Structure 1
Amino acid sequence: MNLYDPFVPQLIQTVGQARKWLDKAQALAEQKKFDIDVLLGARLAPDQYPLVRQFQSISDGAKFTAARLAGVTPPVFEDNEKTVEEVRARLDKTIAWLKTLEPAQFEGAEARTIVLPFMPGKGLKGLDFLVKMALPNFYFHAATAYAILRHNGVDVGKLDFIGELPFFDV
């Protein structure tokens, strides 16, 4: 199985959905007349990352995971976003980069050894890395960003998290 097919399009969709959450946050800020950028410092707990870092982690999770599995170097983003517009731009750059990847780059990725910088001398097979570490981490940050926005009154629901589904008539 080529890991591109069940993985990269889903990353693109989820990063795109995260961008849409910001659009809904913008609508709330306009309605309630508050500075939307205030939300970037919101967090669910004192020891968790603020919203801006959750969005940076969504971006990083998508690009680093895809890059490791494809055997390519990911783009470097500076983690210096201070406004919602800058976060939107980062998410857009992430999606654009993910769209440059080709299924052929992921051939054999399930068996590829993935070495992580914070675990020197250790490795994971590509499939274990994806299923047991990378995807749970990616979705953790996506769910946390979603929860912070919802907790702050942004009108997002489950379908805003999931996104479009390819339904067909039966």
Structure 2
Amino acid sequence: MNLYDPFVPQLINTLGQALQWLSKARVLAEQKKFDIDVLLAARLAPDQYPLVRQFQILSDGAKFTAARLAGVTPPVFEDNEKTIEEVRVRLEKTIAWLKTLEPAQFEGADTRTVTLPFAPGKGLKGIDFLARLGLPNFYFHATTAYAILRHNGVDVGKMDFLGEVPFFDV
């Protein structure tokens, strides 16, 4: 099973939707006349990462999961974003890098052994890594970033999370 098709386009889609959330956040900030960058410190709970970190982890999750499955080295981005515009640029760079990946790089990824720095001496089959860790972690941080923005008044709904759904007539 080639993991590219059910995985990489979805990462690109969700990161693209996250860019739309930031655009909607800018609209709210302009309407309410507040500095949009204050949203980067927002969080839903005191012990939760702030919005800026949610987006950084979202970017890293996409890059590192795809790289491990494709057998390539991902780009390294410094976690130094201080503005919404810098977050936007990071997400755009992540999308651009994901678009360089080819389906052929994912041949055999479902059975490839994936190792992780936080679990020395342990491994996962690629499909287990993707289904049980990579995608759930990616969506956890996407959902949390979305929820922080919505909680702060940004006008986003379910379709802003999902993006375009390729319906067809039956």
TM-score normalised per structure 2: 0.99
1:73 — aligned with what?
A: 73
Deviation, 1:169, is 2.1
Task: Please give the secondary structure, in 1, of the residue aligned with 2:44.
Answer: coil
Q: Distance in 2 between matches of 1:119 and 1:101?
A: 26
1:106 counterpart = 2:111: no
Q: Moved runs in structure 1, 4+ residues, more than 6 A?
A: none
1:48 counterpart = 2:48: yes
Q: Distance in 1 between matches of 2:150 and 2:62?
A: 22
Q: Distance in 2 between matches of 1:79 and 1:67?
A: 18
Task: Please give the secondary structure, in 2, of the residue aligned with 1:5.
Answer: coil
Deviation, 1:167, is 1.4
Letter aligned with residue 142 of structure 1: A
Alignment of 1:19-168 (within 5 A): 19-168=19-168
Residues 82-137 of structure 1 show CA distances to partners (whole Å, capped at 9, x for unaligned) of 00000000000000000000000000000000000011000000000000011110
Structure 1 spans left out of the alignment, 5+ residues: none
* RMSD of equivalent CA atoms: 0.5
Letter aligned with residue 96 of structure 2: A
TM-score normalised per structure 1: 0.99
Task: Please give the secondary structure, in 1, of the residue aligned with 2:78.
Answer: coil
Q: Distance in 2 between matches of 1:69 and 1:169?
A: 34
State how many pairs are aligned.
Answer: 170
Residues 20-69 of structure 1 show CA distances to partners (whole Å, capped at 9, x for unaligned) of 10000000000000000000000000111000000001100100000000
Identity %: 84
